[in-house]
Structure formats: C-alpha cells, structure tokens
C-alpha cells in the first residue's frame, strides 16, 4: 500500500511539473512548481522503517522550498504592485536558484539528501531539477538575473566536484554531484532548451542506474562502497564511474563535449574554462570512487552472476554508458 501511495504522489508531482512547462504566466508557473513540490513531500516521507531522520530531511527540504516559493511569489506581487521589474526579477531569480540548490545557495542539498531514501534523492536531485531549470530562460532578458544564474552555474560546476571529494556519506556525495550537474544544466539553458532536455534525459537515466545500484546495496559510506555494492552490479558501476569521469567515448564526455562546443561557438571563454576545470576535478574524484568501489576484502560474485533482472539492469547500464555516447553524438 505504501508503495502504491508513493507512486501516486510521484505521478501527481510529475503531472504538475509537466503542466508547469506549458504555462505562459509566471504566476501559474509558480503554482504548478509548488504543487509539484507539495506532492513530493509524502513521497519523500515514505519510509519502510520510520525513524526521526526522515523528518529532518523532509523538513529541511520543505522549509527551503517554501522560502524559495515565498521569494518567487514576493517577486510576482512586487512586479504587479509597483512594477519594479529588476527587483522583482531578482527576487524571483533568488527563489528559483534556492530551489535549484546552486552555489552559494546549495547548503540545504547535502543536509536533506543525507536523510532521504534513494528514490527521493533521484527525484529531488535529478527529476525535479530538470523542470525548475526550464524556468531559468524566463529571466534571460534581465541582465542582472542572467549574469547571476551564469556565475552561480559556473560556481556550481567547479565547487560541486571539490565537495564530492570531501563527502563521507554516499548520499552526501550524490548531493554534490547533483549540484555539479545543475550547473551544467543551467549553462546549457543559455544555449537552448533542447540542450537542457537532452542533457537532463541522459542525466536522469544515468542517475537512475546509479541510484538503483546504490540502493540495492544499501550503501551508506564512501569508504565501504567496495564491500556494500553488490558484486553483480560492479561492472555497471564501473561503466557509470568511467562515464561520469568524462573519459571518451563514454556518454557523459559526449554531453559535456556538446556544451563545450556550443560555448565555443558563442566565444564564451569563462564557460569553456569552467567546463574543463570541472571535468578535470570530476575525473580525479570518480577515479577515486572507482577504486573504492572495485576494492573489496571479500571475494564476490562477478559479472552476470545475479538474477535475470539484475543481469539485464547491469547490461543495460553498460550499454547505456558505453554506446549511447556515440548515438547521442550522431543524433546531435
């Protein structure tokens, strides 16, 4: 019954978020965003073994999202009442940036993620952010907001991998990974929404594989990843890690390369430098994660040693990361 309720709330949140994409008025965008967030609360609260920690995570997430919504609504009302365009846009911009968890407004991301279940991490870290990022281009005609988003995105891309290095808990690691990719998504939004949708689709699928594997092993700490990650998923995890490292010809290299190419066409030097810096730090981090994940004191079952479903998932993950990069490059 609990699983059914989680699915229902998730679907309702998804519907609200999709509806948000088709709204023409900023007010209704705000409404749908908030409705989507509200429906996520029960989903995030669902725990098979209730404990106090879930409350901490969900409460933090709710307070931050609520404050962000207040800022957005405040901006809308300010613009309607006294037509202070720049100030109202700045307030709304602040609200959306807080919801996205971009540097320097990222403080809540790790604090919340540590207490979420893995499904919640995927939805909040990947799924929900895709829809909120789609609101960023609304402010592209306000220079103050555009520059603010740009530099916050650059900061997120560079700070995220550094923070990942210092993560002790797996969920905290995923939180900062989410911050990094949010930066890439926002940068991509400056080049066109088609890039955002393509990147977010790829990111969501990759994160789904990653989160599922970590959930199946109930992984808690980075240092224990090798022993906690199931042996039949290790090959898939290695592929994901290599992809997130940015090694060609894996998938994540191709997506970052497309954004790099677009920034080159626009002669955006800061973007190019930040992408390359982020990629370099990310490489070092994921090599470290790869080593931890593949080291284990106990001899474990190897490749294709799980059930049919587990093997299918593992193979799908390998194929996705190894070959979809070429597919994406050809399509794009």
Partner 1 sequence: MGLLILMALNCFCVMFLNKKDQTVAVVNCFGVWSAFSLMYWGGSGVSRESLSELFCVDIYSSSMISLSLWICGISILVSSCMTNLRGVFNSYLILVTLLCFLLVQCFMVNTLAMFYVLFESTLIPLASIIGIWGGQIERVPSIQYMAAYTVGGSFPLLLIFTTMEVHAGSSFMWFISMKTTSLNWLFWGGCFLGLLIKLPAFPFHAWLPKAHVQAPVGGSVILAGILLKLGGYGITRMMMLFSYTLESFGILVMSFSIVGSVYGAFMCLRQSDIKKLIAYSSVSHMAFSIMGLFSCTEVGMVGAYIMLVSHGFISPGLFVLSGINSEMVHSRKIKVMSDGVRAAPSLGFFWLVMIMANLGVPPCPVIISEVLSVVCVIALYPWVFVLLLMYFILSGAYSFSLYCQLTRTKKKIKMKVFFNEVTLKDMSALYFLFYPLAEVLFKWDLWAMM
Applying CB under 8 A, which residues contact partner 1?
242, 245-249, 257, 260-261, 264-265, 272, 276, 279-280, 283-284, 287-288, 290-291, 294
CB of 196 to partner 1, least distance (A): 21
Of 144 and 280, the one with the shorter C-beta distance to partner 1 is 280
CB of 127 to partner 1, least distance (A): 30
CB of 203 to partner 1, least distance (A): 21
CA distance 163 to 175: 9
3-state helix, strand, coil in the chain (%, to 5): 80, 0, 20
Of 76 and 241, the one with the shorter C-beta distance to partner 1 is 241
Query: Which tokens is 141 given?
Result: 């005609």
Of 67 and 247, the one with the shorter C-beta distance to partner 1 is 247
CA distance 129 to 37: 11
Of 175 and 239, the one with the shorter C-beta distance to partner 1 is 239
Query: Distances in Å between the alpha carbon of 27 and those of 72, 79, 234?
Result: 9, 11, 46
DSSP-H helix ranges across 52-142? 52-82, 85-100, 107-113, 118-122, 128-133
Residue located via tokens 């019954």 = 1
Q: Which residues contact 26 (CB under 8 A, 6 or more apart)?
A: 76, 92, 138
Of 56 and 294, the one with the shorter C-beta distance to partner 1 is 294
CB of 291 to partner 1, least distance (A): 5
Query: Which tokens is 209 given?
Result: 């594989």
Q: Which residues contact 158 (CB under 8 A, 6 or more apart)?
A: 183, 274, 277, 278, 281
Of 23 and 322, the one with the shorter C-beta distance to partner 1 is 322
Of 151 and 288, the one with the shorter C-beta distance to partner 1 is 288
DSSP per position, 284-300: HHHHHHHHHHH--SS--
Of 56 and 305, the one with the shorter C-beta distance to partner 1 is 305
CB of 288 to partner 1, least distance (A): 7
- Three-state SS string across 211-231, please? HHHHHHCCCCEHHHHHHHCCH
CB of 327 to partner 1, least distance (A): 15
CB of 278 to partner 1, least distance (A): 11
- Number of residues assigned to the chain: 332
CB of 207 to partner 1, least distance (A): 22
């Amino acid at each position: 019954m609990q699983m059914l309720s989680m699915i229902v709330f998730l679907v309702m949140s998804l519907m609200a978020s999709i509806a948000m994409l088709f709204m023409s008025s900023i007010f209704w965008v705000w409404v749908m965003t908030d409705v989507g967030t509200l429906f996520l609360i029960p989903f995030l609260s669902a725990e098979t073994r209730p404990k106090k920690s879930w409350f901490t995570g969900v409460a933090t997430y709710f307070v931050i999202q609520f404050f962000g919504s207040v800022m957005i609504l405040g901006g809308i009302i300010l613009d309607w009442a006294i037509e202070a365009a720049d100030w109202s846009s700045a307030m709304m911009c602040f609200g959306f940036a807080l919801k996205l968890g971009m540097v320097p407004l990222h403080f809540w991301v790790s604090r919340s993620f540590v207490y979420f279940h893995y499904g919640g991490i995927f939805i909040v870290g990947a799924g929900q952010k895709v829809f909120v990022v789609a609101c960023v281009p609304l402010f592209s005609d306000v220079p103050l907001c555009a520059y603010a988003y740009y530099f916050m995105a650059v900061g997120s891309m560079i700070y995220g991998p550094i923070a990942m290095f210092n993560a002790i808990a797996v969920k905290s690691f995923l939180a900062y990974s989410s911050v990094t990719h949010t930066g890439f998504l926002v940068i991509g939004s400056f080049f066109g929404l088609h890039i955002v949708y393509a990147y977010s689709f790829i990111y969501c699928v990759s994160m789904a594989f990653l989160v599922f594997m970590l959930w199946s092993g109930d992984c808690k700490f980075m240092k224990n990843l090798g022993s906690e990650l199931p042996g039949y998923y290790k090959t898939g995890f290695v592929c994901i890690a290599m992809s997130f490292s940015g090694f060609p010809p894996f998938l994540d290299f191709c997506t970052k390369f497309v954004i790099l190419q677009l920034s080159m066409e626009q002669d955006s030097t800061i973007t190019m430098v930040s992408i390359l810096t982020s990629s370099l730090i990310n490489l070092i981090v994921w090599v470290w994660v790869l080593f931890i994940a593949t080291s284990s004191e106990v001899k474990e079952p190897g490749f294709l040693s799980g059930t049919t479903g587990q093997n299918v998932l593992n193979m799908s993950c390998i194929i996705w990361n190894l070959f979809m990069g070429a597919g994406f490059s050809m399509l794009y």
